[in-house]
Amino acid sequence: MDRIEDFRRVYAGMITAAAEVADPRIVEAFAAVPREDFLGQGPWDLMFDGVYARTPSDDPACLYQNFLVAIDRERQLNNGEPVFLARMIGALAAEAGEHIVHIGTGTGYYTAVLAEIVGPKGKVTAVEIDPGLAERSRSNLAHFKQVEVVSGSGSELKMAKVDGIYVNAGASHPLACWLDALAPGGRLVLPLTTERGNGIVVKLTRRKKDFAARFISLTHIFACAGARNGKAAKRLAKTLERGQWELIRSLRRDEHGRDESCWLHGAGWCLSTRTA
């Protein structure tokens, strides 16, 4: 084992432990994927507490820390924080052989981690709305035969039934096309955010007739193009002031009046404290 592989393995263990992810397959996936292959030539700009600092060299060891790394510093577009993404991937709970959709692939690093988890018999559909980033991720992921990169909006993607969807951007509400695409037992990990970008991440799991739901994390993330509605975002902002997101138990799509079990009541959907 060479020096960088040692760094990568220690990093994989540390970030998954910090994310409270115990699945050894996820640890191994992070240990297997070279982060430097997805971030261009160093030195790199790392972000901590909203401030960028340049690495002292192009040594890939600099990347194996829990920092955001600039993809486009001018736009403050970054490769996300490893502990947070490890927690989201852990919540998605992908299995070998499954079909996973990753919306907001960026340059492909975390998509590669998902590809390692589902393995050669699985499939990952990676979606990126920025054409330049989509092309970079397509090149970076070319050696993963189980990955297809789609250039376009994840809000317009037409999908057959899939086992999991991870949206790596903030929506104001769950889109019907995402919910409808989930096979029985399928999971959607979804950041729901206000116009300011703050919000919560929820995990929705499709049952036979309904969806179980639970709170995963607080978040602050950039907006998901095509998945924003001003009224829904305002309702979410008002609801967030009340808190109690840990009481969320289900997502309802049936027609019903607002009642005390409605944590966030939207048009055609409702995050509810009722057990699914």
Domains annotated on the chain, with CATH? 81-272 (3.40.50.150)
194 membership: H or E segment, kind and range = none
Q: How many CA atoms lie within 13 A of 114 on its CB side?
A: 33
> Are 36 and 42 contacting, i.e. CB atoms less than 8 angstroms apart?
yes
pLDDT of residue 209: 81
Identify the bridge partners of residue 252 per DSSP, sorted by sequence position.
Answer: 270
Q: What's the pLDDT score for residue 152?
A: 93
Q: Which amino acid is at 7?
A: F
Q: Count other Cβ atoms within 10 Å, centred on residue 5.
A: 12
Q: What is the pLDDT of residues 72-117, one digit of tens each?
A: 999 999 999 999 999 999 999 999 999 999 999 999 999 999 999 9
pLDDT at 85: 98
- Mean of pLDDT over the chain: 95
* pTM for this entry: 0.95
Mean pLDDT of the 126-143 span: 97
Is the pLDDT at 1 greater than 60, yes or no? Answer: no
Question: Residue 7's pLDDT band (boundaries 50, 70, 90)?
Answer: very high
